[in-house]
Amino acid sequence: MYGVSGFCSALGGVLMTFYMLSGYGLHAVGLELDAIAAVVIGGTLLTGGSGYLLGAVLGVLVLGLIQTVISFQGTLSSWWTRIVIGALLFVFILLQRLMTARRRL
């Protein structure tokens, strides 16, 4: 598992380097929220960490769609992507809390 994790992170670093055309190590600072938001929107529970790979992929697609729509809108600031993602993450966390509270009863 450590080998697979190391390989995936190295592959991600190489792809990020090609995308940014630079090898600066702090380019990905702040992308942690995007990773967590994609997995939570995809259906992974924060309380137990159980979820599906397809859900995480769908969460990434939803976040990509939101970022693309806001960036191509032209009239909105880039901060709106963070605001919308934060609000969507808040809604999904509330839904998870409601679902887990009903299961306990």
The two three-digit tokens of residue 15, written as one number: 């792809």
Query: Contact at 8 Å (CB) between 57 and 38?
Result: no
Domain that holds residue 76: 30-104
Q: Decide if 3 is inside a domain.
A: no
Q: Decide if 60 is inside a domain.
A: yes
Query: Contact at 8 Å (CB) between 89 and 40?
Result: yes
Q: pLDDT value at position 11?
A: 94
- Structurally, the chain folds into a number of domains equal to 1
Question: Tens of pLDDT along the chain (105 residues)?
Answer: 999 999 998 998 899 889 888 888 788 888 888 888 898 888 888 877 678 889 989 999 999 898 888 888 878 887 888 888 889 989 988 988 888 787 776
Q: Decide if 86 is inside a domain.
A: yes
pTM over 0.75: no
Task: Burial-class residue 44 by CB neighbours within 10 Å (0-12, 13-18, 19+).
Answer: buried
